[in-house]
A and B are shown apart, each in its own frame.
Chain A
Amino acid sequence: MKRKLVSVLLCVTMVGTLAVGCGGKKDEGKSDEASKDSGKDGQVLKVAAFEGGYGADMWEEVKTAFEETHEGVTVELTVDKKIEDVISPSMKAGDYPDVVHCATGREAGLTETLTKEKGLLELTDVLDMTVPGEDVKVKDKILPGFLDTLGTMPYGDGVTYYAPMFYSPCGLFYNAGLLKEKGWEVPTTWDEMWELGDKAKAEGISLFTYPTPGYFDAFTYALLESSGGADFYNEAMTYKDGIWETPEATAVFDTVGMLAKYTEPTTVANANNDNFTKNQQLILDNKAIFCPNGTWLPGEMKDAPRADGFEWGFTAVPAVSKDQKPSSFTFFEQMWIPAEAQNQDLAKEWVAFMYSDKAADIFAKSGAVQPIAGMADKLDADSQLYYHIYDNDAAVAVMGGFAATDPVEGVSMTDSLFNAVNSVMSGDKTVKDWQADVEAASDKLRDAM
């Protein structure tokens, strides 16, 4: 299909049609009855989406559903595991997709770059749009909490630029079978954690491992929230002066420093993009107990051999402060419209469509959960386990990462705060130095806000 579309488009451009979005196939024998919006005949909407663990098929289905409800519109879909590599060359050439689904925090940092370059379209009016085919406003359909975070308002100025997509809680994964067999409880505080660590060490099992330092983003966010609460968290994310030197922040750094003593010794050696599955394998082999990760982990490791009686367990990150509840960072992906997109109105319509029951159901079939009330209940029992983490206020949901800044040469929080974890774990950097570095980076980034 895609190949055909491309060649059709190529032919059309060859002939000399200049206008972008010159769909060559205006009518495919559809009547006007389904058409909700007029004047969209022959439009082409270019959608680029990251192919994550949920697969690419759901995007094809959603595309079909959108084309069915929007007469005359052709969606040109580009889905790829390295979507940044595919679209950014033509974006540099000034040829932008109309809508992009690509999360923040990915290695290539495309979303961050566009944000830093102020290259995004404001989505505030999308929130006030009615969901296509339904009579609810978009903002009323999205779960509360998702819209007022730095994960949707990257500049922290109250203006929405990202549409929240596919949420999943991040927390600590473990082998529930192992804990049951040994008669160990799942710790809810860090003191219990260290106790368990000592007990496990006696049996030759390490308490902790992590895939790559990149996974410390969700983990650290959860620690920060559970150390100082919501306001503290937001101040940290917006680089408030001295925030990383407060007792609350110090408690977080110290917790990670303590954790280093309980981390499986070979973890750092495999904490890179080639070998991270070896660290995840430690959980399956009962060589380590906890591993911070997201809901895609069981799928990622589905072919891997495992210890007898293995059973996935999942828990929130224990609270750092005694006054706070355990917390879990809610990872979600972002969809955005480049400011240079050609078909902005149609693009907004597409974004709104993402929150229709129709689209959400398609996504849910592949395990991708839209932030809409009740969506998580449609999952199968295994997957539901993760989404029940917040039930009965057992854990606090943390959302949104660092605020976007102008590019600062040589400085990034990913390096200073997360990648440095490898050095802390291996003992090459003291917790004090790490903390000082983070504060220094924070100072530089604040100036660029």
Chain B
Amino acid sequence: MRHKKGRSGFIAACVLPSVILFIIFMLIPTINVFKMSLYKWGGFSNNKQFVGLNNFKILFQDQKFFRSFQNSILLIVLVTIITLFFALVFAAILSRENLKGQNFFRVIFYIPNILSVVVISAIFSAIYDPNSGLLNSILGIFRGKDASPILWLGDQSIVIYSLVIAMVWQAIGYYMVMYMASMTSVPESLYESANLEGAGKLTQFFSITLPLIWTNIRTTLTFFIISSINLSFLFVKALTNGGPDGSTEVFLSYMYGQAYTNSSYGYGMAIGVVVFLFSFGLSAVVNVATKREPLEF
């Protein structure tokens, strides 16, 4: 058979470059992260001391780590739920309704996603400014001139939600486009027959759209977990630097602080290991929990 000949050669030629790159630049470094989490090392000297699981032992007694853990989970959960909701609603409206300027909205909503986090943090610093910020100026109209300003980045009970707003703002467009993409592939005939049966828009959304794009939503949940962990770090670094007083510290920002600023590289890597296992485990749990019989159309 002609097909047999050269098949394995072709497969190898196509797959090997990727596999080699992946092993060298992702797998081996990850293994090194796991290895270094067992050492006490400051980052510079040749003095690496094997401490076994000691770094993890300290980790589980570290209040500050737990706080960063809590903040991370809070951000993951809130950002996912809020973004998911808005992205779905806007996607449904823009793909199913006949609106003026549909294209315009679709283009505009995606823009926050293409901005560098540095740009976004500059924008939100100006929005959150207590005295002359956009948000307080607008709220000032309703609350009266004498009301004391809301400290969006200073009040420890508010600041984490200020981060949520910024992250949702950044993410809506991205997921909206994803959902729009799968919504347009839902056959129009389904909606037409639903219309004939007299089903309302909401019923159609819940009984047709949602079930049919369910697999897509499940996939994006994994994306939400991965990107929230990563983006929360970038946002925190740029907007609050973990402050005030560590109240917005998240996984990776705490890892950075320990590995580099507090000269505890091994400890930082132990945090890295926990983050890896956590995101992996959480995705697995979410994956299982959202499993439904896939609907075909």
**A residues whose Cβ falls under 8 Å from a Cβ of B:** 88, 91-92, 107-109, 112-114, 116-119, 213, 265-275, 278, 407-412, 415, 419-423, 426, 428-429
Contacts and interface: CB of A to CB of B under 8 A. Distances in A.
Given A109-B260, A117-B42, A420-B245, 6 more contacts: A112-B263, A117-B43, A265-B151, A266-B149, A407-B264, A410-B262
A190 to B, nearest CB: 24
B156 to A, nearest CB: 5
Nearest to B121: A274
Contacts of B10: none
Name, among A107, A114, A265, A426, the residue most crowded by chain B CB atoms within 10 Å (CB to CB).
Answer: A426
A278 B40 CA distance: 40
B42 A407 contact: yes
Contacts of B153: 269-270, 272, 275
Contacts of B121: 274
Nearest to A434: B245
Name, among A271, A409, A412, the residue most crowded by chain B CB atoms within 10 Å (CB to CB).
Answer: A409
B90 interface: no
B154 A426 contact: yes
A423 B262 contact: no
A422 B242 CA distance: 12
Contacts of B122: 274
Contacts of A116: 42, 263
Nearest to B155: A426
12 contacts: A107-B261, A109-B262, A113-B263, A117-B47, A266-B154, A274-B239, A409-B258, A410-B58, A410-B267, A412-B261, A426-B151, A426-B154
Contacts of A275: 125, 129, 153
- B-side binding surface: helix, strand, loop or mixed? loop
Contact of B151 (A266, A411, A423): A266
A436 to B, nearest CB: 13
Contact of B263 (A91, A117, A272, A428): A117
B43 A113 contact: yes
Name, among B125, B238, B245, the residue most crowded by chain A CB atoms within 10 Å (CB to CB).
Answer: B245
Given A117-B45, A272-B153, A423 B245 contact: yes
B155 A269 contact: yes
Contacts of B62: 409-410
Contact of A269 (B55, B59, B152): B152
Name, among A91, A109, A415, the residue most crowded by chain B CB atoms within 10 Å (CB to CB).
Answer: A415
A322 B211 CA distance: 75
Contacts of B35: none
Name, among B58, B122, B153, B247, the residue most crowded by chain A CB atoms within 10 Å (CB to CB).
Answer: B153
Contacts of B128: 269
A371 B64 CA distance: 40
Given A109-B262, A269-B130, A410-B65, A422 B243 contact: yes
Q: Which 5 residue pairs across A and B have the least CB separation, nearest first?
A: A269-B154, A422-B244, A269-B151, A268-B154, A266-B130
A88 B65 CA distance: 26
A291 to B, nearest CB: 16
Contacts of A273: 241
A278 B58 CA distance: 38
A202 to B, nearest CB: 16
B246 interface: yes
Contacts of A268: 151, 154-155, 244
A278 B132 CA distance: 11
Nearest to B133: A269
B262 A412 contact: yes
Nearest to B64: A410
A211 to B, nearest CB: 13
A265 B149 contact: yes
B44 interface: yes
A113 B149 contact: no
B124 to A, nearest CB: 10
B131 interface: yes
Contact of A265 (B58, B148, B261): B148
B83 interface: no
B125 to A, nearest CB: 5
B245 A422 contact: yes
Given A112-B263, A272-B243, A423-B245, A119 B129 contact: no
B260 A419 contact: no
B209 interface: no
Nearest to A116: B263
B240 interface: yes
Interface string B94-130: 0000000000000000000000000001100100111
A407 B261 CA distance: 10
Contacts of B240: 272
A93 B260 CA distance: 15
Nearest to B44: A117
A206 B107 CA distance: 47
A266 B42 contact: no
Given A92-B44, A117-B42, A108 B155 contact: no
A112 B43 CA distance: 12
Nearest to B43: A113
A88 B59 CA distance: 26
Given A117-B45, A410-B64, A426-B244, A270 B154 contact: yes
A408 to B, nearest CB: 8
Given A91-B44, A114-B44, A409-B55, A278 B129 contact: yes
Interface string B220-245: 00000000000000000011110111
Nearest to A285: B131
A121 to B, nearest CB: 13
Interface string B50-64: 000001001100101
A420 B242 CA distance: 12
Contacts of B264: 407-410
Contacts of B59: 409-410
A272 B47 CA distance: 35
